[in-house]
Amino acid sequence: MCARYTLTRAEKEIEKLFQVQVKDGFEPNYNLAPTQEGLVITADEPGIAQKMHFGLVPHWAEDTKPNISTLNAKSEDVLEKKTYRPLVQHHKTCLVLADGFYEWDKKSGKSIPYRFVLKDRPLFAFAGLWSQWKSRDGAIVYRSFTIMTTAANETVAKVHDPKNRMPVILDKYTEPFWLSKDISTADLLSLCLPYPDEKMEAYRVSTDVNAAATKGVINNRPELMLPLNSQ
């Protein structure tokens, strides 16, 4: 599962690398947690990067209460789930922008956090799906997303052993295909592959990152993503 990630790059860098306009601004997030707003690029509006809530809320839900089961969508059985099947079929795909993500090593009985980054790309995108929920009176519109997952590569599996999963990280070649409305469902899902080990690295960070918030205050500061031995 990918339940926490980072997006700390400046707006201008995001706009340049993805050839988009950042809509409504975005503040760096060093510990982006469920229900918080991430930055996504959708197949419907590929020219903008817009904020949506992490943790998908389907349009038929009673409310926007978060559900841990919709933070990630397992790519191998996504078409078997009523929450995700129509989103795939109707090309409600998105790029979830990030520059790293966290996973926890729990083999010792403790939750020891690691941050994963790409060696060759300071900014990248997870494959995602998005949905729009509206209140019955139409006054509230809540857009949200989930991150696709696949089998973990060796780099991630060393840390995240219990489930052997990792987020689907797209490369520059496959990003346009994930947003294409002309691609078949089978071809779309064929893009959900483990990212190459040789292009990733991981390092341990402080357990301070374990809490998404402390006493109601969001836990979001640059020190959280620093290597443990540099703090």
Q: Could you give the C-alpha distances from 98 to 32, 92, 128, 217, in angstroms and in order?
A: 10, 19, 12, 22
DSSP 152-196: --HHHHTTSTTT-EEE-EE-TTTHHHHH-SSS-HHHHHTT--PPP
Task: Out of 2, 37, 94, 192, pick the active-site residue.
Answer: 2
- Among residues 150, 143, 148, which one has the least CA distance to residue 72? 148
Cα three-residue angle 44-49-53, rounded to 5 degrees: 90
* Count of Cβ atoms closer than 10 Å to residue 33 Cβ: 22
Strand partners, 213: 218
Question: Nearest 5°: CA angle at 187, between 185 and 190?
Answer: 110
CA–chain centroid gap for 146, Å, is 7
d(CA 16, CA 19) in angstroms, rounded, equals 5
Two tokens at 16?
A: 């340049």
Active site residue 103: yes
Residue from 37, 94, 103, 192 carrying the catalytic annotation: 103
227-231 own/partner pairs: CB under 8 Å, 24+ apart: 227/203, 228/203, 228/204, 231/206
* Catalytic residue set: 2, 103
